[in-house]
Amino acid sequence: MTPVKQTNTHRLRKAVHHNRLASKRGMLERMFTLWFRGFVYNQIWEDPRVDAQALQMGPESSILTISSGGCNVLNYLIHRPKRIVAIDLNANHMALTRLKLKALERLPDYETFYNFFGYGRHRDNIANYNRYIRDALDPDTRAFWESTDWPGKTIGPKRINYFKTGLYDKAKLGQFFRVVHGLARKMRKDPTRILTATSISEQERIFDETFGPLFDNRLVRWMGRQPVAVYSLGIPPSQHAAMLEEQDGDGGKLFDMYRERVRRLACGFPLNDNYFTWQAFGRRYDHEGRQALPDYLKRENYDTIKSVVGRVETHIASLADQIRSEQPGSLNSFILLDSQDWMPPAVIDELWTEIAKVGAPGTRVIFRTAGELSPIEKSLSPATMARFRALPEIARELHKQDRSAIYGMFHLYELVGPSAS
């Protein structure tokens, strides 16, 4: 194992391992660490439209974000920011992000790009990879896509074949949706039926008739309350425990909360404007209408994002370590996803202390939580907390607009006061 991999494994353990191995929670945390070291997300599940509004994204934006599947890194390019620093501890996610960036730079036209990342499967994708992308990739990214998931990494189908057999069936998230869809069909419920609706009221009727009974099934309810059942959604044991605590420790209430969020995902927004619904219920995008798509996959945005793709830099690193390497005033937008749900208070305090040192005047920080409560007030030292101001009214309004609908709350903070350098 290389030193970089050892370092990243240590950083992941630092973020996730809160309890002793001998404890139940400690064992679950270590199971999650093993799970998360694989390829988890084939698509990011944070709404970039909400992010852009919260951060007032534009030409003066200098953004640091966790890359995850790379979708939002490309989505943010529509606003022509000055700079995007994309980081992730998961090398699998960074390999997908770097492939997307290089494909955007090198592929000859929009349709070829859409075949790769819109359909996620096409007979020409492998030939186009070899012709346009392969030789432009850095050695680590190329090695990832040209090795296999099988033991030994040398024998078996190469990962680049995901784009022939179906990217959105791959990764832990794709496998999770395949299992959920299979279970639903065994119960004679077709998840894709929701996509035939022509109005929100029809979406609500189909959901209540088709999926409501599933949420009352005793086996489904039991499975949904188990921490390991949500690993494929990237929810670690600490996050699951926090969600359970907010529901007064009642697993039944926790499952009912899942039902409410899934219903909002299915019915909260028009189908032609919510690609998250298409992925969850159809395991694909809206190829026919090409309306329910991430912005980076829309034809009208292709030339814009292609022209500014060079403004993105990528690093396999932790948030705090990357921020420490930045110059004071070099960043003004921080996108932390739901990463703090994983972190103990000391790690959160360390992270925000570094943000306070580096953030330019007017810096904004956004993140999401599985539950409703922000971990910041209880985690930061008084000195660090004094550097930030919460904007809860704006955050609550933006949370209502979040099309992914799976999080408990959206949070927005602004850096205030003198430089802490």
- Residue position matching structure tokens 């296999």: 148
Q: How far apart are the first and last CA of the chain?
A: 36
SS3 332: strand
pLDDT value at 403 more than 80? yes
The two structure tokens encoding residue 50: 């909400």
Residue 334 near residue 355, CB atoms below 8 Å: yes
- The answer for residues whose C-beta is within 8 angstroms of residue 142's C-beta and 6 or more apart is 134
Quickly list DSSP for 133-156. Answer: IGGGS-HHHHHHHTSBSSTTSSSS
SS3 121: coil
Share of the chain above pLDDT 70, in %: 82
pLDDT value at 231 more than 70? no
Specify the amino acid at residue 108.
P
Beta bridge partners of 83: 62
Q: How many CB atoms lie within 10 A of CB 358?
A: 24
pLDDT digits (tens, 9 = 90+) for 292-336: 999 999 999 999 999 999 999 999 999 999 999 999 999 999 999
pTM of the model: 0.88
pLDDT of residue 193: 95
For residues 168 and 279, give the distance between their C-alpha atoms in angstroms, rounded to a whole number: 8
Share of the chain above pLDDT 90, in %: 66
pLDDT digits (tens, 9 = 90+) for 207-223: 998 887 777 777 776 76
For residues 88 and 66, give the distance between their C-alpha atoms in angstroms, rounded to a whole number: 5
The DSSP H or E segment spanning 218 is helix 218-224
For residues 300 and 5, give the distance between their C-alpha atoms in angstroms, rounded to a whole number: 39
pLDDT digits (tens, 9 = 90+) for 36-49: 567 888 999 999 99
Extents of the domains making up the chain = 169-282
Q: How many CB atoms lie within 10 A of CB 340?
A: 24
Residue 104 near residue 309, CB atoms below 8 Å: yes
Place 14 in a pLDDT band, splitting at 50, 70 and 90.
low
- Residue 110's Cβ-count burial label (10 Å; 0-12, 13-18, 19+) is middle
The two structure tokens encoding residue 333: 């937008």
Mean pLDDT for the stretch of residues 227-239:
58
Quickly list DSSP for 172-216. Answer: HHHHHHHHHHHHHHHTT--GGGGGG-SSHHHHHHHHHHHTTGGGG
Give the single-character DSSP code of 192.
G
Measured in whole angstroms, the distance separating CA 326 from the mean position of its chain's CA atoms is 24
Residue 342 near residue 16, CB atoms below 8 Å: yes
Mean pLDDT for the stretch of residues 179-201:
91
- The answer for residues whose C-beta is within 8 angstroms of residue 332's C-beta and 6 or more apart is 60, 61, 62, 63, 359, 360, 361, 362, 363, 364
pLDDT digits (tens, 9 = 90+) for 52-73: 999 999 999 999 999 999 999 9
SS (H, E, C) 21-89: CCCHHHHHHHHHHHHHCCCCCCCCCCCHHHHHHHHCCCCCCEEEEECCCCHHHHHHHHHCCCEEEEEEC
